[in-house]
Structure 1
Amino acid sequence: MSAPAATQEPARRPQPPALRGNRDFKLLWAGAGFSFIGSRISIIAYPMLVLAYSGSASDAGLVGFCANLPYVLQLVAGGLVDRLDRRRLMIACDIGRLAATGSLVAALAFGHFWLAQVAAVAFTESSLTILYRISERAAVRHVVRATDLPAALSGNEARERAAGLLGQPVGSLLFALLRWAPLVCTLAANAVSLVMLLLIRARMQGDRAATRSGGFVKELWAGIAWAWRQPFVRVLAGLIAGTNMLFAGLSLALQYIVRHGGGSDGEVGFTIGLIFTLSGVGGTLGALTAKWWMKRASLSAVVIGCNVAWAVLMPQVAYARGPVTLGALFAGMGYAGALWNVAAAVYQMKVTPEEMQGRVLSVATLVAYGTVPFGSLAGGFLLDHFGPRTTVLGLGGAMCLLALTAAASPSVRRLQTA
């Protein structure tokens, strides 16, 4: 599908330099990379903290619910991204995350653990991370040339996968040394992100004064209405909503399996770190090869193929033994997820008008990730009542149904990335 006229950049806009020599894109790319590493470190630390202090999967699921709840509440974030200066908004997000995470580090350092505080910090940090991510994604098209957009978005996806590759194992290994050490690393990562944002000179949005439609709520509804008419939201995000809910439960099940397999904090942290390292390698390879796949396969083929791959791999986690086998399964699922994300991001960027980038991103992410907190909550309940094997097999069965739905959907078969 070709981009509508509304998505074309104004002729007066100065042409950014080529990607290789684009200083501002490199700063944005690297700063967001540190930000995402910090987020990955903390997101793995929260359930490990809860399981270590209370041993309750339900408590860990509750914290996971709070960490993912902002996905349900993010429509306002999209409206803010379309109204406010994106660079200043991202700076404010980094400062807020520094304050929230710092409060939890201080409490743990003095020997205090409060479940309510962990849940509140997880919610706050996740909210600001989502706002930061929407701002950064909406800003990319203003920092790079239009012809460089697919390569830039592939690089961004590889960066996020690399952040997972580094962040989750580092968080697990740091936890093995000291329970609040991962959060100190998150503080440092957010500080570096803040410095890099301060060095960027390029504008991260066009002139949007003429696009104001007479009120914040009215603008939000306009973005929702436009997005709902697009296959990107109705089809892709709907399928992703189901898969992300299942993966939220699967991730918690993995930690539960490793924790109840015996061993010290150090052994548990090392095992989880190794599994997530292998998963991150798979995701990074998927992102790096996404451009190759996009030249040779339609978006519909990518969507159906990824769902089938997940349906095959997910149930095998119930019977896998050892961190290498588990890591290989998660690497395969990560590869498919990265490929899906790049193709969907290029499609969304091409069809969405500039004045609606933030709102459409927030709507798409809301639909895609709004089910994640419920996946964490349900995963904790199922693990406590039915055990890990039955829970994982149930998740795998649901994934098979989603794969069949994708393969049978006429709307999916009509999707194109071009």
Structure 2
Amino acid sequence: MAREDGRKADPQGPESTPLWRNRDYNIWWSGVAMSKLGTSVSTLAFPLLVLASTGSAAAAGVVGTCESVGLVAGLLPAGAAADRYPRRALLVGSSLVQLASMGIVFWIVAAGHLWLSLIAVLALVQGLASAAFAGAAAPLVKRIVPESQVRTAFARVEARDYGAQLAGAPIGGALFSWARWAPFLLDALSFGAVALACLFLRTPLGPDAADRPAERPPLRRDLGAGLAFIRGSAFLRYALLWMALMNLFFTGIGFMFIVTLRRHGASPSQIGTAESIATACGFGGALAAGWVVRRLSGYRIILFVSWMVAAGVGGIMVLASRPWLAALCLGASIVFVTPLNVVFASGMVAMVPDAMIARVMTSANMASQSCGWLAPVVCGALADGLGVEVPLIAIAVGLALLAAANHVVPVVRQLGEPPESSRESEPRTDPDERTVL
């Protein structure tokens, strides 16, 4: 691996070293865990704050929409920047911007002045900074862990994110009940923690001097380079289309889960508990994901997951009048999806050259999220006009079609065997012969 000054280095150390002894991975994991926890806390607190102050659900939705718009709009420029400029500086800088914006939110809430327009602008800034952070963070796992441990590292990332989500909701609710400003202060401090973690990493984060062209291409070409790389790979084209549709259906499942339980008489507290049960299942699945991906090929995982998610939606329809059982069906789907996330993330990281990994991964992230916003609108209209069963049936049918496609599309078999059995230490970069794992 190249150092940031262009000289060769091997920051990963011996591949036999377990992850729990990998200093940089553990610092990175812990710093981002703090940031994810803070974000989970403020994600709950923002709509509670706006609802308590204005009583308007539409106003509460404006904040979340602004942040989502900032994230999606910033991903392509963030990927180009991360392959042009020092990634450590981008990570620290974006974290400090988020600290400052959340600090302003804390200040205006503590002062008792809720300016919705200012909070919406700050949410947009948060989304843009999150995109910058995501772009610079995309190559980090590949940089700081050996190739044979990439899947395990991503599995632990999934466990971290589910754990933060599971803990963030009750912590956020308790802090908001104690003092409305408290969740935003915690989130601001969490961005400081991840900024410090990035400063303490010893591994050169790139981009390496040897990978930088003598003359930088125009920024417009860099913005489209990630999408161009994806178009050159049959596997990536299919994977991103598949993930975009899966995200659409999963967003619909999350929305319809709440609507369906409510229509069947569940109280808000029962729905909240049911969602906690489902999240706990996802956390358990994330803890087991490392064990699963080390023993099953990616191809078997994607086939199994595809059909089980469709079956889980069917279970929600049948058991909607029993919130706890319906929650277990949703939780089972989340459990099975976690190893799939690991397979796709590690597979994409393995096949993309470091010199353009940020552009490709941010382009992939943008593409995979491109359809999700449609789900609540479409599902809500179908549920109001035709009943809650119709959108759930449509989602189940769509998931079944995606599962069937995995049996007949040849490139899905490129997911191959677990990395321990791979005979190649480096992925090929010929667009017609790329190996994923």
The TM tier, using the shorter chain, reads 0.7 to 0.9
1:16 alignment partner in structure 2: 12
Q: Which residue of 2 aligns with 1:86?
A: 87
Q: Is the 8 A contact 1:287 1:342 kept in 2?
A: no
**What is the TM-score when the length of structure 2 is the normalising length?**
0.79
| Structure 1 CA distance for aligned equivalents of residues 381 and 111 of structure 2 | 31
Distance in 1 (CA, whole Å) between partners of 2:45 and 2:382 is: 21
Q: Percent identity?
A: 26
Q: What is the aligned residue count? A: 407
What is the deviation of 1:166?
1.9
Read off the aligned partner of 1:84 and give its amino acid letter.
Answer: Y
**Aligned residue number for residue 278 of structure 1:** 277
Q: Deviations over 1:106-135 (max 9, x none)?
A: 344444545544443333323322332332
> Which has the higher Rg, Structure 1 or Structure 2?
2
Question: Match of 1:333?
Answer: 333
Tell which deviates more after alignment, 155-164 or 168-177. 168-177
Distance of 2:83 and 2:36 partners within structure 1: 22
**Equivalence for 1:350:** 350
The alpha-carbon deviation at position 151 of structure 1 amounts to: 2.5
Indicate if the aligned counterparts of 1:165 and 1:276 stay in contact, CA closer than 8 A. no
Partner SS for 1:237:
helix
- Which residue pairs with 1:203 in the alignment? 204
Q: CA deviation at 1:386?
A: 6.8
Matches of residues 170-319 of structure 1 in structure 2 within 5 Å?
Answer: 170-175=171-176, 177=178, 181-212=182-213, 213-254=216-257, 268=268, 274-318=273-317, 319=319
**Secondary structure, counterpart of 1:201 in structure 2:** coil
Q: Deviations over 1:2-31 (max 9, x none)?
A: xxx99xxx9931343433332222111111
- Separation of aligned partners in 2, 1:291 and 1:25: 16
- Secondary structure of the residue aligned to 1:372 is coil
Q: Distance in 1 between matches of 2:158 and 2:299?
A: 19
Instruction: Confirm or deny: 8 A CA contact 1:208 1:355 kept in the other structure.
Output: no
In the other structure, the counterpart of 1:370 is 370
1:328-378 residue CA offsets vs partner (Å, 9 max, x unmatched): 233212212211111111111211111011011011111111222333555
The AA in structure 2 aligned to 1:67 is E
Q: Please say if residues 90 and 131 of structure 1, whose CA atoms lie closer than 8 Å, have aligned partners that are also in contact.
A: yes
Change (3 A) 1:340 1:102: same
For residues 69-218 of structure 1, what are the structure 2 equivalents within 5 Å? 69=69, 70-113=71-114, 115-175=116-176, 177=178, 181-212=182-213, 213-218=216-221
Counterpart Cα distance in 1 of 2:50 and 2:380: 12
CA distance in 1, matches of 2:333, 2:160: 17
Q: Does the CA-based 8 Å contact 1:44-1:172 persist in structure 2?
A: yes
Q: What letter is aligned with 2:183?
A: P
What amino acid maps onto 1:313 in structure 2? Answer: G
Q: Deviations over 1:51-75 (max 9, x none)?
A: 5566666555554433323225411
2:313–2:396: 8 Å Cα contact kept in structure 1?
A: yes
TM-aligned CA distance change 1:100 to 1:248, over 3 Å: farther
Deviations 1:130-153 (A, max 9, x none): 332332231222222333333222
SS at match of 2:373: helix
* Larger displacement relative to structure 2 (228-237 or 110-119): 110-119
Residue 227 and residue 344 in structure 1: after superposition, are their counterparts in 2 closer, same or farther (change >3 A)?
same
Q: Quickly say closer, same or farther: Cα 1:50–1:229, change in 2 above 3 A.
A: farther
Any residues of structure 2 matched to 1:21-60 within 5 Å, and which?
21-50=21-50
Tell me which amino acid in the other structure corresponds to 1:346. S
Match of 2:411 in 1: 411
- Deviation (angstroms), 1:260: 8.8
Q: CA shift at 1:414, angstroms? A: 4.8
Change over 3 Å in CA distance of 1:230–1:413 after alignment to 2: same
Residue 355 and residue 145 in structure 1: after superposition, are their counterparts in 2 closer, same or farther (change >3 A)? same
1:285 & 1:98 partners in 2: Cα distance?
31
User: Equivalent residue of 1:83, what SS?
Assistant: coil
State the AA in 1 paired with 2:227. I
Farther-moved stretch of structure 1 (405-414 vs 198-207): 405-414
Q: Cα distance, 1:100 vs. partner?
A: 2.1
Shift of 1:46: 3.8
Moved more, 46-55 or 67-76: 46-55
Q: CA RMSD in A?
A: 3.5
Does the 8 Å contact 2:80/2:223 carry over to 1? yes
Kept in 1: contact 2:76–2:363 (CA 8 A): yes
| Cα distance in structure 2, aligned partners of 1:245 and 1:179 | 33
CA distance in 2, matches of 1:180, 1:249: 32
Contact 2:84 2:207 in 1 (8 A): no
Structure 2 CA distance for partners of 1:277 and 1:291, relative to 1, 3 Å: same
CA contact (8 A) 1:248 1:372 kept: yes
Cα deviations by residue, 1:142-174 (Å, 9 ceiling, x for unpaired): 222333333222222222222222223433454
Q: Taking structure 1 as reference, are residues 337 and 200 closer, same or farther at Cα in structure 2, changes over 3 Å only?
A: same
Name stretches of at least 5 consecutive residues in structure 2 with no aligned partner: 418-436
Question: For structure 1, which runs of at least 5 residues remain unmatched after alignment?
Answer: none
Give the C-alpha shift of residue 86 in structure 1: 1.5
For residues 116 and 297 of structure 1, what CA distance do their matches in structure 2 show?
50
Amino acid aligned to 1:131: A
